[in-house]
Structures are given as C-alpha cells and as structure tokens.
Amino acid sequence: MAVTAPATPVHAGSPRDERPIWRRPNLLRAALMFLVGAAFAYVLVGVLRTVNHYPNKWDDWNAILQVGLIAAPMFFLVGLGAFDYWFYWAAGKPTRPEDHSGHGAYSWRDYFRVNTDHKVIGIQYTVHSFVFLLIGGMFAMLMRAELAQPGMQFVSPGAFNGLFSVHASLLIFLFIIPVFAGLANFVLPLMIGAPDMAFPRLNALSFWLLPIAGIMMLASFLAPGGSFATGWTAYAPLSTTAPIGQVFFTMGVQFAGASSIATALNFLVTIITMRAPGMSFFRMPLLVWANFSTSLLVVIATPFIAASQFFVLLDRALDFNFFNAAKGGDVLMYQHVFWFYSHPAVYIMMLPGFGIISEVLAVKARKPIFGYRMMAFSLLAIVVLGFTVWAHHMFVSGMQAWIRVPMMITTAIIAVPTGIKIFSWLATLWRGVLRLDTPMLFALGFITMFTLGGISGVMLAMIPFTIHVSDTYFIVAHIHYVLFGGSLFTIFAGVYHWFPKMTGRMFDESLGKLHFWTTFIAFNLTFGPMHLIGIQGMPRRVADYAEQFAGWNLAISIASFVLGLSTLVFVYNMVASWRGGPRAPANPWRALTLEWQVSSPPPVFNFDAVPTVVGGPYEYGVPGAVHGVFREPKVPATTGAPTVAQPH
C-alpha cells in the first residue's frame, strides 16, 4: 500500500524580473564580467610588479595567467548573479521579500542561470556531468586508436600524456563526483520530506563552480607547451616544473574541490536538521545514509587535495620549494598529502552508488533490505577506515619500508564493511520477486563488476604483488573495474530509476536493455584482458609498446569502440524520451519512499502538505506497510485526514 500526496496545484508562470538587463543575473552579464576580471588581473599584476621594481612589468604572462585564472572566474560568478543576495545583505540594506523569481524551472532558459531549486540544480549537475563524460570518453577513444597497434599513429607522446591526464581528471572531478551530487540534489530533499536544501543559494553556487573547473582543464590544451600531462595525480616535482598548462589543472581542482565541500556541508545540514516529522536516522533511506557518510568524507578529506595543489602553486609562482629536494623540500610529502585525500576519494566515488543500489534492489526485488542497520554502520566504518589506507598507493615510492605492513593490513580490513554490503544485497535478492528491468540489470551488473574490482583490490593490498604489477595495465584494469564497473554502473542504474521522477517521462525499456548488454559485454572485453597483459609487464601511460602486446591491444581497442558506441544508445534514449516519451505516473515502480508519493516531476516546492513518516522505507511485502502520510492543509474548523492510495 502506498501513500500519495494531495493533488499538485497548477503553478503560474515564472515571476518576472523587471530590472534592466545589466542588473539582472544572466550569461551575457557574466561574459562581460569575465572580460573585466581578465583586465583586472592584467592591471593588478602590472601595478604590483611596477611598485616592486620587477622586470617584465606588464608582460610577465605566466604571472598574469595565474592571477587571471583566479580573478576572471570570480568576476564571471559575480556577473552571473551568484553573489547578488550576499552583496545586498553585506551592504546593510533592508531585508527584501523573497519573490522566488530565481526558484524553479518554467522553461529551458531557467537551467542556464543561477537557480535555487534543488531539483533544477540536480538536473544541471547531472546533464553537465554527462557532457564531460562524453568529452572524457572521446579522449579515451583517441587514446585507444593510438594504441591499436605499436608505433605512433595519430598523436605525439606528449599529446598522449595530455590526453590521459585530462581524460582522468575530467571523469573523476567533473563526472563521477558531481553526477552523484546531482542525483542526490534532486532526490535527497524529497526523500527526507524537506522543501529544499538547507542553503539554496550556496547550492546554486556549488554547481556553477564546476563548469569553470571543467572549461579550465580543457583550456589547458591551448596553453603554450600543451595541456597538463602529469596524470590526474600531478606528482611533484614533475608538476612544479611542467609547462604552464599544469596551472590549469592546479586551479581547476581548487574550483571543483570548493564545489564539493560546499555541497557536502549543505547535505550534512539538510540531513541533520530538515528531516520530516517522524523520520529518525534509522527510518532514513540508505541513499540518505550513503550521502551523509560521503559528505563526512568530503568535508574532512577534500581540503588535503586543495592543500597539495596550493603547495604546487606556491612552488611555481613564488619559489617556496616545498618539493625541491636540493633546497630542503620533501618530494614524498606531496604523495602523502595527495593520497590522504585521494584514497578517501575512491569511497567518495563509491558510497553514493552503494545507496543507489540499495534503493533499486529493494524496489525491484519487493523485499526489505537485509541487515538495514549493519548496512548503515558499514557506511560509517568505511568512512573511518578510508583514512587509514592511503599509503598503499606508495608501496614503490621509496617511503619508509615499515609503513607498508600496517597499510597492507588496513587495506585488507577495509574489505570487510564492503563485503557486508555485498552479502546484504545478495540476501535481499534471495527469494525476491525480481523485476529485471534496466535499473535492475545495471544494479546486478554493478554487484558482479565491483566484486571483481574488489578482488583485484585485495590482491593489490599485498606488498609483493603490488611491487610486481605497479605502473602496469593491471592497475588500469583495477581502477576501471571499480570506477566504471562500479561507479558508472550505479550512476546508470540511478539515472534510469529516477528518470521518470526527474522528467515526468518514461524511457524506452528496449533501448535501456540494449544499452546495458552492449556496455556490460564491451566493458569486460575492454578491461578484462588488461589484467593479463599487466601481469606480463605491459606498462601504463605509454603511447607505444612492445610488439608482443599488439594482439591484445588491438582487441582491447575494438572493444573500447563498441563501449563508446553503447553510450550513444544511452544518450539517444535519454534525449528522445525526455522530449517525447510516455507520460510517467507518480509512482511507476510502486516504491514506498517519499519522493515517489508526489507527482512526476514534483511540484516546485516539493510538497503541498508536510509529510509525516510512520514506518521504515523498505517494508515491501509487509501487509499495510506505509512509510509516510500526508495531511491535508488545514482549513478553518476542519482538519484533513491522511490520504492513502488503494493497494496496487
């Protein structure tokens, strides 16, 4: 039995902003302010160098570029209106009534401006992230074309280094991390019965920091000397001596990191303070638990990658010599600081997916999640243990040998809470009434692929094995089984699962299944053989290789092209279904959680009556089970009763 909200009212058109165009937030004003910011950077550097009697006062383009990469984006955000309300408040002006002119989407134009509606921001995040998936995927196709046979075919070794560096950076910082934030932005407030996120304006700013980071990384290809080519890890001292394109990565990561931290703080405050009446922590859906845990990781860990890139920037710009061993610097310090963020980042890219899989499996198996509380506690255990394993990335770095053994042990231990989740999902599936539609297929594909990636991860926890396969294609296979077979499969499952809620349309199920099977088969044919050639000694991050690996590399390249084409099936299905798919009912999956008890898409302010949570989120198969009820808005002398739908 499901509970439905009262009928959704018909909303009028978007409130109009009657101010002159130069005072209204818009992309034209933002573009003009971007140019003003670039000019400001030029003048600031010139004046400071003149005052301090430096040479090349007005034509030190390295200094101008580094200041400009900070100033121009900030001026762009000012022009876009991201700080309008805060400037108004800081100026001490009287409080003005909120007209909600910046809240909600009434036309496609509302997605191209600062918008405080969490549902609009969620769609902005998600669509933006998939654009960068396609760009990063095209870089991967170009790399595999180059590697289809030995020798140099299409790009130089330097350009190849730039391709894999930008490929990895875009897909980590501009796709996987933000797309999870996008799905959670849309779904999480609805799940907990909140009208919006706790800080809507900060939420809007968090999104608009991301296009800046992505464009900055892509713009590095235009820099003298080419794009940054130090990998997504940007190890020092290579990154402190690389051409100026490296600065685009250093600054881009700062903007992406600031976005992550602001979003995580927003999620934490929203989850802790804005849950509906009756929703205790142990009545929260596991997707909410997953994002709560992920947000803790982000807030604690992300400042460390920001620090690592600030160190690099200070070394490059002001000769601080943090990583110059000849002047007392410590090269290994960079790796310790970087990996203290970047191993927790693996769980930042996994825990939201764990929550998505729990939601999909419970609905599609029509069973309660097995071991709900242990599933929640295992998420928190991963948060704690995630900070104890960073140096397993450094087994061959030359660090003190004694550190390797405790890191090997903690790396093996962290498999335990992950194993709890795998067994819980399998127990949830056991004797369930399975509906093998597209979201369910991707969820099952995730369990198999992530388990294989986890097994190779346990192998890599062993010091002798890691020494043997370090910097080989075995590492490439492992990270892609975890982040593609793991994270991306959960992302596809989540997009298909909530697509009807986000768009009000149903997708084409046949195309969805075609997408799954082509992706699943081509993925395994692409990355499975990499384990074999990695053990045989095929090095990663090389544009050319020995003749003995030619056959396997040709097969891998062909499979990768099929994998790329499978993504186009997904894109076509999403675009065509969004434009003209069948209208989606409010609850096509017969789910119990609150987001499915409102219309598809939801009302602008989510709920026309405050929901009250009266049961758990996964009580499928329990007669009369209800997760939440909605009470009609009070009218004079009467009180509305809960509205309960008839059993399906």
- Could you read off the pLDDT of 335-361 as tens digits, one per residue? 999 999 999 999 999 999 999 999 999
Contact 564, 140 (CB under 8 A): yes
Is residue 144 domain-resident? yes
Candidates 606, 233, 289; CA nearest to 421 is 289
pLDDT of 638 > 50? The answer is no
How much of the chain exceeds pLDDT 90, in percent? 79
Q: Tokens 């986890």 correspond to what residue?
A: 454
Write down the pLDDT at residue 14: 52
Q: What does the pLDDT read at residue 319?
A: 86
Instruction: Identify the CA nearest to 35 among candidates 87, 78, 85, 84.
Output: 78
Domain's final residue, options 349, 372, 391: 349
pLDDT at position 354? 96
Angle, in degrees to the nearest 10, between helices 177-191 and 118-146: 160
Burial of 277 (0-12, 13-18, 19+ CB in 10 A): exposed
| Residue 645, pLDDT above cutoff 70 | no
pLDDT, residue 8, reads: 39
Nearest one of 583, 609, 586, 610 to 597, comparing CA atoms: 586
Mean pLDDT value of segment 424-428: 96
SS3 content of the chain, % helix, strand, coil (to 5): 65, 0, 30
In angstroms, rounded to a whole number, what is the distance separating the alpha carbons of residues 27 and 263? 23
Please list, in sequence order, all residues whose beta carbon lies within 8 angstroms of the beta carbon of residue 10, skipping any fewer than 6 positions away.
Answer: none
Is there a single domain that holds both residue 332 and residue 289? yes
Residue type, 488: L
Mean pLDDT lowest for which of 292-296, 402-406, 456-460, 643-647?
643-647
| Of the candidates 312, 336, 311, 475, the residue with the CA atom closest to the CA atom of residue 400 | 336
Please name the helix (run of DSSP H) or strand (run of DSSP E) that holds residue 380, with its range, or none: helix 372-385
Tell me what pLDDT residue 635 has.
54
Q: Could you give the CA distance from residue 12 to residue 104 in angstroms, rounded to a whole number?
A: 11
Q: Are residues 202 and 266 in the same domain?
A: yes
Domain range for residue 255? 115-349
Q: What is the pLDDT of residue 443?
A: 97
- Last residue of one domain, picked from the residues 301, 323, 349: 349
Instruction: Identify the band that residue 18 occupies on the pLDDT scale cut at 50, 70 and 90.
Output: low
Same domain, 258 and 145: yes
Instruction: Give per-residue pLDDT as tens, 218-229.
Output: 999 999 989 999
Burial per residue of 553-578, b for 16 or more beta-carbon CB atoms within 10 angstroms, e otherwise: beebbebbeebbebbebbeebbeebe
Structure tokens at 573: 């299905």
Same domain, 78 and 205: no
**CB-based contact 595:187 (threshold 8 Å):** yes
pLDDT of residue 318: 87
For residues 154 and 80, state if they share a domain. no
Residue 175 sits at the vertex; the CA angle it makes with 173 and 179, to the nearest 5 degrees, is 115
Evaluate whether 496 touches 596 at the Cβ level (below 8 Å): no
pLDDT confidence band for 632 (50 / 70 / 90): low
Contacts of 566 (CB under 8 A, 6+ apart): 515, 518, 519, 522
pLDDT of residue 93: 83
HEC assignment per residue over 314-345 = HHHHHCCCCCCHHHCCCHHHHHHHHHHHHHHH
Whether residues 71 and 174 share a domain: the answer is no
More confident site: 438 or 12: 438
Query: Is the pLDDT at 171 greater than 60, yes or no?
Result: yes
497, 602, 454, 489: which is closest to 4 by C-alpha?
A: 602
pLDDT in tens, 316-340: 988 898 998 888 889 999 999 999 9
The total number of structural domains that make up the chain: 3
What is the C-alpha R_g of the chain? 25
Query: What is the distance between the alpha carbons of residues 415 and 417, in angstroms, rounded to a whole number?
Result: 6
Residue 437 placed within a domain: no
Q: Report the pLDDT value the prediction gives residue 15, as an integer from 0 to 100.
A: 56
110 domain-assigned: no
**Domain final residue, candidates 291, 314, 349:** 349
Q: What is the mean pLDDT of the chain?
A: 90
Q: Band of the pLDDT at 17, cuts 50, 70, 90?
A: low
> What pLDDT is stored for residue 233 in this prediction?
93
Query: What would the pLDDT profile of 245-260 be if each residue is shown by its tens digit?
Result: 999 999 999 999 999 9
Lowest mean pLDDT among 170-174, 300-304, 613-617, 621-625: 621-625
- 218 and 309 fall within a common domain: yes
**Residue range 555-596, pLDDT digits in tens:** 999 999 999 999 999 999 999 999 999 999 999 999 999 999
Please determine, for residue 12, whether its predicted confidence score (pLDDT) is greater than 60. no
Does position 5 have pLDDT exceeding 50, yes or no? no
pLDDT bucket at 9, cuts 50 / 70 / 90: very low
Percent of the chain with pLDDT over 70: 94
Residue 21 near residue 107, CB atoms below 8 Å: no
Mean pLDDT of 182-202: 94
Q: What is the pLDDT of residue 624?
A: 83
The pLDDT confidence band at residue 166, using thresholds 50, 70 and 90, is very high
| Residue 501 reports pLDDT greater than 90 | yes
Residues 253 and 210 in one domain: yes
SS3 state of residue 434: coil
Question: Is residue 648 predicted with pLDDT exceeding 60?
Answer: no
Phi, psi dihedrals of residue 24, rounded to the nearest 5°: -90, 140
Residues 36 and 131 in one domain: no
pLDDT at 593: 94
Q: Is residue 554 part of a domain?
A: no
397-410 confidence digits (pLDDT tens): 988 888 999 999 99
Q: Does a structural domain hold residue 425?
A: no
CATH assignment at residue 314: 1.20.210.10
Helices and strands per DSSP (H, E), number in the chain: 21, 2
The answer to whether 501 and 596 have CB atoms below 8 angstroms apart is yes
Say whether both 48 and 177 belong to one domain. Answer: no
- Identify the band that residue 182 occupies on the pLDDT scale cut at 50, 70 and 90: very high
pLDDT band of 646, cuts 50, 70, 90 = very low
Kindly state whether residues 244 and 205 are assigned to the same domain.
yes
Entry pTM: 0.91
List, in sequence order, every residue forming a beta bridge with 505; answer none if it has no partner: 583
- Do 50 and 192 lie in a common domain? no
Element (DSSP H or E) covering residue 534? helix 509-535
pLDDT value at residue 644? 45
Q: Does residue 633 form part of some domain?
A: yes
Is 474 contained in some domain?
no
pLDDT tens column, 96-135 = 777 777 888 888 888 998 999 999 999 999 999 999 999 9
Lowest-confidence region among 7-21, 40-54, 536-550: 7-21
Instruction: Look at residue 643 and tell me whether its pLDDT is greater than 50.
Output: no
Q: Is residue 263 part of a domain?
A: yes
